[in-house]
Each structure stands twice: as structure tokens, then as C-alpha cells.
């Protein structure tokens, strides 16, 4: 799964990188510890224009009776998109990119209950484009006065690098796939599904970081700083 990530780039930089219009909403504060239910930036195609917008992290299907269901929908398995009711419609028409400057994953420490977090990012520190889905929820009475836009990150099997710490990873789309993925008129589900593969191992690098990232109240660039670990994988004290 992908349960924490970094989104520290300003919205205008995100817009330039993804060749999109900047958001019109109030800017989201930079975060080195984005957690489920936070507001996050997404890139989507709206009326033929690519733009950056803010969405709630945790997809709330249009048919939901309560937005609380989104707490369990922060990730969507690539192999379930075409069949699971929560994701099927969004996969057909409401696909997005979720920009990230990196993400975290945890590895079990031999002989301990604790886990060691790792920060995963591009060696050149350019942004990552997670494949995502978005939805609009208008409440149980379908009121236009109650509207929530939400998103989920699609995951797949890990590449060679990530397999050393976890059995899933976010789908990271190359720029060559962005246009097709964002186009709501593209309904070739079979072709789109073929984009949802593990990223090349050389695209990413990772290093251990302090366990502070496990607490959502902690934030700041210090969370991505490398730490030394012992032979067992535990952080040195």
C-alpha cells in the first residue's frame, strides 16, 4: 500500500511540471508527512484542460451514504479496478495523477515488533506521478450544496527495489502515459490497465529515515533525512 508520502512542492511548480493550470482553491500547506484524509493535489483533465486541484485523500464513491467510507479507500489495487464497485466507474471516466516528491514504506525489523521506515524517491528528486482515481460525492440526498471531491492512489506489485521492504507499491506513470491516462474519453480499459505496472527499479532510490514519520503530528523536511541503522535494520541510537 501507499499510506504516507511527501508533497512539498508549491502548486505553481506542480502545474508547470505537469503542464497544467494551477489550482483555484486555497493552497495546501507543504507536507513531508501526507496522511490519509488530508487534502492533496491531483492533476486531472477538466473540459479538455489539464489542471491541478485539491481533493480529499480517501475515495468516496458517488453511491456512498457517508464520507467515512473514504478512510478505507486510500489505495486501489490495480487488479480490482475494473470489477470493484467503488472504483469501476472512476476507472472508466475519472482518472487522475497524484503528484508526490517521494513516499514512505516500512520494513519489518528482525526479532522486533517495530518497523523501520524508508523514504523512496527519484535519484534526481523530480516529482513522481502516482496513478489515481477521483470521484465527486454529493451526499445521500445528492445535494449540490454538499460536495466532496476525493481521490485514491492505485497500487501494484513491487519492483525489485520495493520488494525488499513491501509487497505493494504505488503505480508511477511516465510522462508518455499521462495524456492517455487523463483523457476521460479514452475508454479502452484493457489498454489503460496495461499502464498499471511496477516502475523500473532504476527510477527510484531509498534510504532509512527516523521513526518520527510514523506519527502524523510530525512534519518537516527533517523527516526525509537519512539515518544509520544496525545490522538488524533497526535505527542506531
CA–CA gap between residue 116 and residue 113 (Å, rounded): 10
Q: What is the pLDDT of residues 85-134, one digit of tens each?
A: 999 999 999 999 999 999 999 999 888 888 999 999 999 999 999 999 99
105 catalytic? Reply is: yes
Q: In what order do the strands lie in the sheet with 102-108?
A: 31-34, 5-7, 102-108, 115-121, 205-208
Task: Kindly name the residue from 25, 105, 146, 160 that is annotated as catalytic.
Answer: 105
**pLDDT (mean) for 24-53:** 95
Q: Hey, what domains does the chain have and what are their CATH numbers?
A: 5-224 (3.90.1680.10)
Question: What is the percentage of the chain residues whose pLDDT exceeds 90?
Answer: 84
Look at residue 235 in the predicted model and tell me its pLDDT: 55
| Helix segments in 143-236, DSSP class H | 175-182, 189-193
Amino acid at each position: 500500500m501507499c499510506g504516507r508520502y511527501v508533497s512539498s512542492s508549491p502548486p505553481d511548480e506542480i502545474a508547470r511540471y505537469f503542464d497544467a493550470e494551477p489550482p483555484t482553491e486555497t493552497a495546501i500547506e507543504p507536507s513531508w508527512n501526507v496522511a490519509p484524509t488530508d487534502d492533496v493535489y491531483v492533476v486531472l483533465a477538466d473540459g479538455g484542460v489539464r489542471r491541478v486541484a485539491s481533493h480529499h485523500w480517501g475515495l468516496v464513491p458517488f453511491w456512498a451514504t457517508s464520507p467515512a467510507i473514504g478512510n478505507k479507500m486510500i489505495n486501489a489495487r490495480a487488479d480490482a479496478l475494473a470489477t470493484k464497485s467503488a472504483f469501476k466507474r472512476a476507472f472508466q471516466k475519472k482518472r487522475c495523477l497524484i503528484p508526490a516528491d517521494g513516499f514512505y514504506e516500512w520494513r519489518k525489523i528482525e526479532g522486533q515488533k517495530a518497523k523501520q521506515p524508508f523514504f523512496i524517491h527519484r535519484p534526481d528528486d523530480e516529482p513522481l506521478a502516482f496513478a489515481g482515481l477521483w470521484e465527486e460525492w454529493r451526499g445521500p440526498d445528492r445535494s449540490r450544496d454538499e460536495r466532496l471531491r476525493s481521490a485514491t492512489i492505485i497500487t501494484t506489485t513491487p519492483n525489485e527495489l520495493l520488494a525488499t521492504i513491501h509487497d505493494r507499491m504505488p503505480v508511477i506513470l511516465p510522462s508518455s502515459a499521462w495524456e492517455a491516462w487523463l483523457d476521460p474519453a479514452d475508454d479502452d480499459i484493457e489498454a489503460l490497465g496495461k499502464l498499471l505496472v511496477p516502475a523500473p527499479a532504476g527510477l527510484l532510490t531509498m534510504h532509512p529515515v527516523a521513526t518520527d514519520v510514523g506519527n502524523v503530528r510530525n512534519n518537516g523536511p527533517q523527516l526525509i533525512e537519512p539515518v544509520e541503522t544496525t545490522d538488524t535494520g533497526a535505527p542506531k541510537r
